[in-house]
Chains A and B, each alone.
Chain A
């Protein structure tokens, strides 16, 4: 399963790669990374069909996670549509509602609980 992680924090890449090292090693997950909404869209342009799940931060400079979500749902929604999970430091109901309205499949708050995340990812598969 190929997962695209979108976050403006560069170290998220290292963190995810280590957190999912076993899964990556045994080929359960394949991770791709983008540092902004714009990067993510550019990546999707070439790899839309490979990506099954997108994990995106909401608060990013430039294109916000919500905007990215809107673009995904309008431009990269070819069936099967990618599963999108939004991540934010602000776990308020309004943001959550907005994410759902825009077509997010799930809503996670920072700090991420990787055990829970793994469970969710596995349940998707």
Chain B
């Protein structure tokens, strides 16, 4: 080949262009930057080679060497980036052509006659290698495109993953924030709950005290009666002793009268003891009522409890409203015997029911009082106890105003009251309900007709 011939110049330019194409196709600036620095200078190298060839007038250089050098460059480049699949395919594409070109040139210089003789075969082989080259370049291009697509996909996925990661982190931060918020709220709620519990206990206590206040007058009245007896029987006893002393001074003593006086004296002292005991039991009951419940069940005479609280409730209301008068009666089943219950608690329930009953008849009496025939209405409250199927039943009945049907479901709710503000806490019945159901596993029911009266029924299991 001669450098000055079109063939030589063409080969050089082709080589240079091929290297340029190689660089672009294989993306060498990114994949192997250092080697790319060398490849970039391919133009310059080609120029220098061209210059040298022209100056020294080298005419006899086979283009095969050129192709072999170019092949080596490609091979080395591919070896550098062998993990890039299209590169290997490119090598496979270029390889046969390079080998053929090199062999053809080699044979030209070493065995020219052989070369001449098989020129047709070698030409066919060259043509085949060119087809091979083009085919594989197309394949390599496709591979590259596929890889590029793949990498774009991968990039997208990675982008997506990054987004998800970011979102996840964001969500986690949000969750942590919310958790902190909820924890704080929970703590606040717990605090509020604790405060509510304390308030509830205070309310229960104040309700107890309020009912005790209502009782005070009743208690005073109930204590006054036995005290009157104590005083009266004491005074009478002094009179009896005086009479006895007088009798003893007489010259003719009357043993029969003396015996009678002594018997009376003894009886009086027994009565003093009895009524003193009555007064103490009322005071004891009052103390028991105001004291926090022991929560201890003890065998209790339910009939006595009902009777005692009925009186206290009546006189309590009677003391507040002097014009008020009602009949109250008891129908107590003696077969009830002693029942295991918490006396303070059940006493409060009964007191509440009685107070409500007297309040209801009082209200109805007020309404009737404004009408034309007040004498027709006779307020009455009645308590009945029964022993039925092994359970105790206590019925508190009044003929008062009654409870409208729509309110009957609400009366056991805390703070529900129909009394004017300041008169009722609205806790009485709700506490009563809790005491009967939770404290004694019993039931508390109401039956009422508006304008006719109300009955509360407590059932306690034996």
The answer to whether B232 touches A111 (Cβ under 8 A) is yes
* Chain A: minimal CB distance from B374 (Å): 12
Q: CB-defined interface of A57-99 with B at 8 Å, one 1/0 digit per residue?
A: 0110111101100000000000000000000011010110010
* Chain B: minimal CB distance from A37 (Å): 9
The answer to whether B221 touches A11 (Cβ under 8 A) is no
Q: CB-defined interface of B274-318 with A at 8 Å, one 1/0 digit per residue?
A: 110000000000000000000000000000000000000001001
Give the chain B neighbours of A105 by CB distance below 8 A: none
Residue from B264, B271, B325 in contact with A59 in the complex, judged by beta carbons closer than 8 Å: B325
Residue from B224, B239, B328, B329 in contact with A111 in the complex, judged by beta carbons closer than 8 Å: B224
The answer to whether B275 touches A11 (Cβ under 8 A) is yes
Asked if A18 meets B236 with Cβ closer than 8 Å, knowing A90-B319, A111-B228, the reply is yes
Q: CB-defined interface of B210-245 with A at 8 Å, one 1/0 digit per residue?
A: 000000000001001101110111001001100000
Q: How many angstroms between the C-alpha atoms of A14 and B275 in the bound complex?
A: 13
Give the chain A neighbours of B271 by CB distance below 8 A: 11, 14
Q: CB-defined interface of A7-22 with B at 8 Å, one 1/0 digit per residue?
A: 0010100110011000
* Chain A: minimal CB distance from B313 (Å): 13
Most A C-beta atoms less than 10 A away, residue of B221, B319, B325: B325
Closest to B264 in A: A18
Q: How many angstroms between the C-alpha atoms of A45 and B325 in the bound complex?
A: 26
Q: How many angstroms between the C-alpha atoms of A59 and B264 in the bound complex?
A: 28
* Chain A contact patch, size range: 20 to 34
The answer to whether B224 touches A89 (Cβ under 8 A) is yes
The answer to whether A59 touches B318 (Cβ under 8 A) is yes
Residues of B322-353 at the interface with A, using a CB-CB cut-off of 8 Å, are 322-323, 325, 327-330
* Chain B: minimal CB distance from A121 (Å): 17
Say whether chain A's binding surface is mostly helix, strand, loop, or mixed: loop
The answer to whether A19 touches B232 (Cβ under 8 A) is yes
The answer to whether B267 touches A62 (Cβ under 8 A) is no
Q: How many angstroms between the C-alpha atoms of A111 and B236 in the bound complex?
A: 14
Give the chain B neighbours of A61 by CB distance below 8 A: 327-330
* Chain B: minimal CB distance from A90 (Å): 6
Residue from B231, B267, B268, B318 in contact with A90 in the complex, judged by beta carbons closer than 8 Å: B318
Give the chain A neighbours of B232 by CB distance below 8 A: 15, 19, 111-112, 114
Asked if A15 meets B319 with Cβ closer than 8 Å, knowing A61-B329, A89-B224, the reply is no
The answer to whether B225 touches A89 (Cβ under 8 A) is yes
21 contacts between A and B (CB under 8 A): A9-B229, A14-B267, A15-B233, A18-B264, A59-B318, A61-B327, A61-B328, A61-B330, A64-B327, A66-B325, A89-B224, A89-B225, A90-B221, A90-B318, A92-B322, A94-B323, A110-B224, A111-B231, A112-B228, A112-B232, A114-B232
Residues of A participating in the B interface, judged by any CB pair closer than 8 Å = 9, 11, 14-15, 18-19, 58-59, 61-64, 66-67, 89-90, 92, 94-95, 98, 110-112, 114
